[in-house]
């Protein structure tokens, strides 16, 4: 093995083509079992790796970073979200953190739109009826959901994914509204026919559908609290393809149980992979196992982006997807 090759440790199994390319370019240590590393394994990894390639399943907190060896120079995250990494602690140690933005935008927007459709039109519930042999023929009043055309969609977080969802929603005849830290450009607003709300509470109380598409930060933890969930209209549905921590799941479970909203579609969970038991068993709640970026194309693109970041660093340049605290 060439001494010029960086020691790269992968915490999970990645697509075969990505792992093969990493073996060609770096001194890459693979996780062939694909079992998540426990704390001890992560502590050992940061003692030998020059580059650590973690995923969302790995908690890279300040304690772990402080215990890393001096040889650790890059944390090249396989994924766009970096809320599982203490960026400030890494920067303080002179460790570069990178992510893979943009490559999962369209796939996550597809899934958000799918959840909106699934909850509104009771698709999962209907499929279960057929699978269980309970379908006895069409009737005028049975399994009626709600149409999308003309409804108001409130997007919380109008970044890449929020805008991609808005384009899909517009094609379905939805009226697009959004809340963001600041308005998007006038050109984008015009393209999407989007209405900006600077007050989230005001928007929540007026929407038929709410979609969460913002990152998880200290400021967005439990963004949808019990108080804010109570602002939703009884016929509204809630979709989350961003991060589970954005919703107070205990409050959501109570709201669903009391029928304070019409339904929910969740791809992420507050204490993933654990799911709040109060969310299970409701026909109007669609729960998915974090499928937002789960396409062959997206996972390959994510791996290619990780490799590009590591190669750029190895060649003595600043990685293109460097994450700094000011970005969060």
Closest CA to 104 of 296, 261, 245, 308: 296
Same domain, 277 and 306: no
Same domain, 36 and 95: yes
Same domain, 145 and 217: yes
Same domain, 209 and 305: no
Q: Is 24 a catalytic residue?
A: no
- State the Cα–Cα distance between residues 158 and 177, nearest whole angstrom: 10
Same domain, 61 and 114: no
SS3 176: strand
Same domain, 229 and 274: yes
124: which 2 tokens?
Answer: 């999962």
Same domain, 58 and 175: no
182: which 2 tokens?
Answer: 């600041």
**Does residue 2 fall inside a structural domain?**
no
Strands 96-98, 322-323: pairing kind: antiparallel
Q: Is 282 a catalytic residue?
A: no
**Does residue 209 fall inside a structural domain?**
yes
Same domain, 93 and 172: no
Please identify which of the residues 152, 243, 276, 299 carries the catalytic annotation: 243
Predicted local confidence at residue 56, as pLDDT = 92
Please identify which of the residues 206, 282, 290, 322 carries the catalytic annotation: 290
Please identify which of the residues 88, 272, 282, 322 carries the catalytic annotation: 272
Supply the CATH number for residue 53's domain.
Answer: 3.40.50.720
305: which 2 tokens?
Answer: 């982006």
* Phi, psi of 156, rounded to the nearest 5 degrees: -100, 100
Q: Which residues of the chain have pLDDT under 50?
A: 1-2, 328
Predicted local confidence at residue 1, as pLDDT = 37
What is the per-residue pLDDT across 37-92, written as a single tens digit (0 to 9) for each? 999 999 999 999 999 999 999 999 999 999 999 999 999 999 999 999 999 999 99
- State the Cα–Cα distance between residues 279 and 252, nearest whole angstrom: 8
Same domain, 88 and 191: no
Predicted local confidence at residue 2, as pLDDT = 46
- State the Cα–Cα distance between residues 167 and 325, nearest whole angstrom: 30
Closest CA to 153 of 122, 174, 173: 174
Same domain, 42 and 190: no
- Tell whether omega for the bond before 273 is within 30 degrees of 0, i.e. cis: yes
53: which 2 tokens?
Answer: 């390639």
What DSSP designation does 213 have? -
Q: Is 290 a catalytic residue?
A: yes
Boundaries of domain holding 77: 7-103+295-327
Same domain, 137 and 250: yes
Q: Measured between alpha carbons, how far is residue 292 from residues 97, 206, 233, 241 in Å?
A: 22, 27, 26, 6
Same domain, 161 and 254: yes
Split into its structural domains, the chain has a count of 2
Q: Which residue blocks in the chain are alpha helix, DSSP H? A: 16-25, 39-48, 62-66, 87-92, 105-120, 123-131, 160-171, 186-192, 200-204, 226-229, 249-257, 296-314
């Amino acid at each position: 093995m060439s001494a010029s090759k960086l020691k790269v440790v992968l915490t999970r199994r990645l697509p075969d083509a990505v792992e093969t390319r990493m073996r060609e370019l770096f001194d890459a240590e693979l996780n062939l079992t694909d079992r998540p590393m426990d704390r001890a394994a992560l502590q050992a990894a940061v003692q030998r790796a020059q580059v650590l390639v973690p995923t969302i399943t790995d908690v890279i907190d300040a304690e772990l970073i402080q215990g890393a060896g001096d040889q650790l120079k890059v944390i090249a995250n396989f994924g766009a979200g970096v809320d599982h990494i203490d960026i400030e602690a890494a920067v303080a140690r002179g460790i570069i953190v990178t992510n893979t933005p943009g490559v999962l935008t369209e796939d996550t927007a597809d899934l958000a739109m799918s959840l909106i459709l699934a909850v509104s039109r009771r698709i999962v519930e209907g499929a279960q009826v057929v699978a269980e042999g309970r379908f006895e023929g069409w009737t005028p009043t049975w399994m009626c959901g709600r149409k999308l055309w003309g409804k108001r969609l409130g997007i919380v977080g109008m970044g890449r994914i929020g805008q991609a969802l808005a384009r899909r929603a517009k094609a379905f005849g939805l009226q697009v509204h959004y809340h963001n830290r600041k308005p998007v450009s006038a050109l984008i607003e015009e393209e999407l026919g989007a209405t900006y709300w600077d007050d989230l509470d005001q928007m929540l109380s007026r929407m038929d559908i709410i979609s969460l598409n913002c990152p998880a930060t200290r400021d967005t933890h439990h963004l949808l609290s019990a108080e804010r969930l109570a602002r939703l209209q009884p016929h509204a549905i809630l979709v989350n393809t961003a991060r589970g921590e954005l919703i107070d799941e205990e409050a959501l479970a109570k709201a669903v149980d009391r029928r304070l909203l019409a339904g929910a579609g969740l791809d992420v969970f507050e204490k993933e992979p654990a799911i709040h038991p109060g969310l299970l068993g409701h026909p109007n709640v669609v729960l998915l196992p974090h499928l937002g970026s789960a396409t062959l194309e997206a996972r390959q693109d994510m791996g290619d982006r990780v490799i590009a970041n590591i190669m750029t660093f190895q060649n003595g340049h600043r990685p293109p997807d460097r994450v700094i605290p000011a970005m969060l």
